[in-house]
Amino acid sequence: MPIDFTLTDEQRELQATARKFAQKELRPVATEADKIRDPFEAFVATREVYKRAYELGFAMSFVPREYGGPGASNVDLQIVAEEICAVDPGFACTLLVNGLTLLPVLWYGSPEQKEEWLRKAVNDPKKTFLGGWIVSEPGGTANFDSPRPHPAGMAVTATYDRKNGEYVLNGRKMWNTNGCGWDKRGADINVVLARTDKAAGGREGLSAFIVPRDTKGFTTTGILDTMGHRLTVQPEILFEDCRIPETNLLPGTRGNGDICITKAFTWSGPVAGIAAVGVMRAALDFALDWCRNYTAGSGTPIIHFQNAGYLLSNIKMRIEAARYLSWKAAHYLDCHDFEGQEGGALSKIFCGELAVSAVSDAMRVVGVNSYLKDYPLDKLMRDVLCFPVYDAGNMGMQRRRLHGIMADPSYNPLAFAQNLKTRFTKSMHGVDSVPGHEVRA
């Protein structure tokens, strides 16, 4: 039977390993780190458990075997990510961003760049290797593909110094997960998107660069303090005459930085989707146990009352629908060499927004006690509110991508369902990036 949702023996073993790691090793660390008020210190508190995730292959699971990595499929990654996110999606975000950073090197890098950085990533004797994905900026970059010239879209510039064979980076970045590294001196490798042609729009003017840690002119200027996802880190980065050799340009991204951004966030879409599933699962586990034991003064556990049962049923339905959409989107990526922009956006949007309502319903069934900070639904709600707005926000970037795909004359509404290969083109970028009244003018 070609359609089969049964895990293989190897996947069941992987799931059991990930669950044991998450429940026994990550949970105690996550519980304490979430309470740390300083956001950078909360992140640093996860360093030892990160080493364990690295040992288990979770931190670099996506690196192909030809470069010494585990070579895990996207579906395998779903299985691991759900177990970790059922405990803490912030820590999972740290792992996720390694993929956002290094996969563009795999897709668009030179043979020398791939050999150097992918092998470094999986052979770190310290087991702390981090990748920093440096895209977002203080003014916002949802409209990175705007047809307008600089400073619309992406404002950070990379100016070519022909005399010295270097690019010079200038400007500020923000929301750059892992970008500060464990010591505020930068991640081991940072992939930075910047404007290489100030006169061109986002479709032609962007490129991606490798900036190693401790590069002069690369400075961590602050750490953002978020309500949830406390175990991951969001630095602000300043590039001030930051010089890198021209060989640090990812050659496949020259003038194609927009495609690099879209493909990277396509890969992360199903992972963000399954992260939402993990949080919903944790909310249901707590609410179900609560309903089996709490009477609300009735003398009977509230699981036997219709309103509680219906709310729990709604949460369960959301979990199953979201899980299988995430699996489907990941499977599509495995079948089509990471190209699956429609499915990536669908899973990211649908699952994240569904999760907010699921956790809200879990709070409703538990009642006012869910509002206490020593109950887990407090943390789950703080974490779940991130899903619709992070990882290429649902309103700013993800829905625009879907609109661009569906507006294209080549769009086939059944392609994703039937696992037919589709091609994402630059013509699908730029939609909704300029206000309608300005277009008419």
pLDDT in tens, 64-101: 999 999 999 999 999 999 999 999 999 999 999 999 99
Residue 441: pLDDT band with limits 50, 70, 90:
very low
Question: pLDDT by residue (tens digit) across 191-229?
Answer: 999 999 999 999 999 999 999 999 999 999 999 999 999
In the prediction, which pLDDT does 301 show? 97
Tell how far CA 390 is from the center of its chain. 8
In the prediction, which pLDDT does 437 show? 52
Which residues are within 8 A (CB) of 391 and not within 5 positions of it... i.e. 6 or more apart? Answer: 96, 265, 268, 269, 272, 348
Question: pLDDT by residue (tens digit) across 248-289?
Answer: 999 999 999 999 999 999 999 999 999 999 999 999 999 999
SS3 192: strand
In the prediction, which pLDDT does 3 show? 83
What are the φ/ψ torsions at residue 48 (nearest 5 degrees)?
-70, -40
Residue 53 tokens, joined: 């995730």
Res. 440: pLDDT tops 50: no
Residue 364 tokens, joined: 């409703």
Domains and CATH numbers, the chain: 9-122 (1.10.540.10), 131-256 (2.40.110.10), 258-440 (1.20.140.10)
In the prediction, which pLDDT does 435 show? 83
129: left (phi over 0), alpha (psi -120 to 50) or beta: beta
Taking the C-alpha atoms of residue 95 and residue 50, their distance in angstroms, rounded to an integer, is 8
Taking the C-alpha atoms of residue 393 and residue 159, their distance in angstroms, rounded to an integer, is 29
